Amino acid sequence: MSRQPTAADGRESWPKLPRRPPARRRPRLLAIRAPIPRPARWVLMVLSVAVTLGLWQVASLLIDGRPDFLPSPGQAVRAGVDLAVSGQLGTDIWATVNRVLRGFGLAVLVSVPLGLAMGSFRAVAAGLEPVIGLLRYLPASAFIPLLIIWLGLGEPSKVALLFIGTVFFNTLMTADVVRLVPGELIDVSYTLGARRGEVLRKVVVPHALPGMIDAIRVNAAAAWNFVVVAELIASESGLGYRIVRAQRFNQIDRIFAVLMVIALIGLAIDLLLRMLRDRVGRWT
């Protein structure tokens, strides 16, 4: 009785698998999304700032350290100290921060409820998203002539420019965050007897809150860009005004000093919002 051929009989004719070298162990610092030790993270952060300042110092030395063209970091710091001692820097910082708080704060008060409604209700999104999507592509700086005509050269036009420059982007980013709330959570909440308002308060808002804070953090940087632009035109105080005044007298070291102050304030705001996000969204 003949034996039926089996799969094992043909294995002898199979080609041998190629030998591959063992996988190399890649450094942990370069692994995709792998956590790194806290000391290594701090070292990399310090190095990023130190290298930037070093390149700045070298570039300044290459042009003979001319403070009227490219001052060194030390010259910029000394100019900032002079502004601080004279009291001008403190006045300008408060004027700029006050404008950001009013303009961007108003944008947040408007955009967060709108984004929450657009992300939660498709009818609201269908009615508002096309218009907001069009308006966000209009450059805010193009509204400056109209704002001067309508509101004058005072504070209202500067606050309005900040509002226009940030409200549309923050609205759409907030709506996108709300849409990421898992539908299963909403379905389970309705199944357990929760009403619409309870679902919004106890499920949608808590789940989307860290993302909302992230959107505010991103758009806060845009608010600082717009406030400097607003202060470049017909201002009597503010960091943007101080830049224009320094340019008028060719005080380049003061311009760099003000830029460093803007960077430090922006970094402080970013860190505060990151801490707030991590605190309210520990579950993430």
Domain assignments of the chain as residue spans, ordered by start: 82-280
Confidence band for 143, pLDDT divided at 50, 70 and 90: very high
The CATH number fitting domain 82-280, selected from 1.10.10.10, 1.10.3720.10, 2.40.37.10, 3.40.50.880: 1.10.3720.10
CA angle 84, 73, 97 (to 5 degrees): 40
- 181 with 207: CB under 8 angstroms? yes
Phi, psi of 20 (to 5 degrees): -110, 140
What does the pLDDT read at residue 23? 61
Q: How many residues does the chain have?
A: 284
Find the helix packing angle between 38-62 and 73-86, rounded to 10°: 90
What does the pLDDT read at residue 111? 96
What does the pLDDT read at residue 280? 87
Q: What is the mean pLDDT of residues 194-215?
A: 93
Long-range contacts, 66-71 (Cβ 8 Å, 24+): 67/252, 67/253, 68/250, 68/252, 69/252, 70/252, 71/252, 71/253, 71/256
Phi, psi of 134 (to 5 degrees): -75, -45
Report d(CA 215, CA 281) in Å as an integer: 14
* Cα→Cα distances 155→37, 79, 95, 107, 206, Å: 47, 28, 10, 16, 36
Instruction: Identify the burial level of 83 via C-beta atoms within 10 angstroms of its C-beta, where 0-12 means exposed, 13-18 middle and 19 or more buried.
Output: buried
* Cα→Cα distances 1→7, 10, 125, 194, 201, Å: 19, 21, 76, 74, 78
Entry pTM: 0.84
What does the pLDDT read at residue 270? 93
Q: What percent of the chain has pLDDT over 90?
A: 62
107 or 192, higher pLDDT: 107
pLDDT for 191 beyond 60: yes
